[in-house]
Amino acid sequence: MASAATFKDQGNEEFKKENFLKAAALYTQAIKADPENAVLYSNRSAALLKLNKVTKALEDADAAIKLRPEWEKGYFRKAAALEVLDKLQEALDVYQTAAKLAEAEGGGPSKELAIKIRTLSKLHKIKATHKEDTLVEALLAAVAAAGITGGNLAALNEFAKDMAGHAEGNVRDQGHDFPPSVHFLPGSGAAAHEEKERHVMANLAFTAPEVYAEFVTGMRGTAERMAAAAVLAIIPKATVAYPQTWSRKGWPAACGGPRQQGLFVQLDVRTGAGGCSRHTWFMPIATEGKDAKTLGKPTPVSAEEFGPLPPLIK
């Protein structure tokens, strides 16, 4: 019979190939051969989390901690599972425990751990002030936070409601894969513009870096020409070859892994002080079952780190 180390090595190879189910099975074989090895539980926890078996991943993380209470990796695995469960404060506390243990061992926290703590701290602050359950609620809250008053506020609120309905209608009719689009609300002093200028289809915008750069330049020019009060982008993840911001370190676990389909919505609002208030959300889209073609709850993400577009209002 193969040794625990052999099963572990085989599991690691399958994990690298993203064969997470096979990796978890091999780690299980390794655990049977060496049930007191914390590393094996930690590895299986990582594989189970990739399979969205969050409760079992959490149990394995706890087992790793019990076997090696001074080892930071078990805490890292536990925090990752808590993050997926949207228990952000608890996850942040556990990540910080992992960092303290790493420092006690003399090496300090890994780059991945440091990024997790930084991005989760930001996300927790964002979510503390954005508790909206629907896209329209999220957009209206963002508009309110921009500090706009008078008639401009009424126009922004109407724009937000129309755009939320447009995004939800696209998902309802076409699912997770439909052309991205950018929508402009001209400023009160802007000249009349054709409807097609206000609503731009972006079919090829996210296909390659050079195409993307040219598109961004064009959209910034349109925003400036219109003296845009707001710009809103509706971008299905399935249409984005570049930039794949979800592959960056620190992508919130609550937004799902690389295979989770969903929708980015990015809103830039020109503020009264002449600045720009930026907001980005990611919403999962179910692809099968009774919830297929349903837009999930909006999760706010850092526009600077994970927004699919840079600021369009300058």
First to last CA, the chain: 65
Predicted pLDDT at 126: 64
Residue 220 domain-assigned?
yes
Q: How confident is the model at residue 132 (pLDDT cuts 50, 70, 90)?
A: low
Specify the residue for token string 């206000």: 198
Tell whether 149 and 84 lie within a shared domain: no
Lowest mean pLDDT of 108-112, 205-209, 283-287, 296-300, name the range.
108-112
Alpha carbon dihedral 88, 252, 165, 145, in 10-degree steps, equals: 60
Mean pLDDT, rounded, for 91-99: 91
Give the structural domain span for 178.
Answer: 132-306
Predicted pLDDT at 97: 93
Tell whether 234 and 266 lie within a shared domain: yes
Give the sheet arrangement for strand 181-185, strand by strand. 199-201, 181-185, 230-236, 262-270, 276-284, 299-301
Total count of domains within the chain = 2
Reported as a single tens digit per residue, the pLDDT across 78-91 is 999 998 887 888 98
Tell whether 137 and 87 lie within a shared domain: no
Final residue of a structural domain among 128, 160, 179: 128
Tell whether 79 and 145 lie within a shared domain: no
Question: Quick count: other Cβ atoms within 10 Å of Cβ 137?
Answer: 16
Final residue of a structural domain among 128, 156, 172: 128
Residues 113, 99 contacting (CB under 8 angstroms)? yes
Residues 95, 76 contacting (CB under 8 angstroms)? yes
Tell whether 13 and 122 lie within a shared domain: yes
Using a pLDDT cut of 70, give the percent of the chain over it.
Answer: 91
Reported as a single tens digit per residue, the pLDDT across 155-204 is 999 999 999 999 999 999 999 999 999 999 998 766 666 666 899 999 99
Final residue of a structural domain among 96, 128, 160: 128
pLDDT higher than threshold 70 for residue 146: yes
Reported as a single tens digit per residue, the pLDDT across 197-255 is 899 999 999 999 999 999 999 999 999 999 999 999 999 999 999 999 999 888 888 88
Q: Tell me the torsion sign for CA atoms 160, 294, 259, 210.
A: negative
Residue 62 domain-assigned?
yes
Query: 236 exposed, middle or buried (CB, 10 Å; 0-12, 13-18, 19+)?
Result: buried
Mean pLDDT, rounded, for 21-33: 96
Structure tokens at 152: 């401009």
If one compares 75 and 84, the residue with the highest pLDDT of the two is 75
Tell whether 158 and 295 lie within a shared domain: yes
Instruction: Give the CATH number, domain containing residue 110.
Output: 1.25.40.10
| Pairing verdict, β 276-284 and 262-270 | antiparallel
Tell whether 242 and 140 lie within a shared domain: yes
Tell whether 42 and 188 lie within a shared domain: no
Tell whether 52 and 71 lie within a shared domain: yes
Query: 90 exposed, middle or buried (CB, 10 Å; 0-12, 13-18, 19+)?
Result: middle
Residue 314 domain-assigned?
no
The verdict on pTM exceeding 0.75 is no
Tell whether 101 and 159 lie within a shared domain: no
| Spatial distance between the Cα atoms of 268 and 233, rounded to a whole number of angstroms | 9
Predicted pLDDT at 34: 96
If one compares 130 and 309, the residue with the highest pLDDT of the two is 309
Residue 183 domain-assigned?
yes
To the nearest whole number, what is the mean pLDDT of the chain? 89
Tell whether 271 and 295 lie within a shared domain: yes
Tell whether 74 and 153 lie within a shared domain: no
Predicted pLDDT at 173: 93
| Spatial distance between the Cα atoms of 210 and 246, rounded to a whole number of angstroms | 20
Q: Name the helix (H) or strand (E) containing 201.
A: strand 199-201
Nearest residue to 73 (alpha-carbon basis) of 101, 52, 50: 101
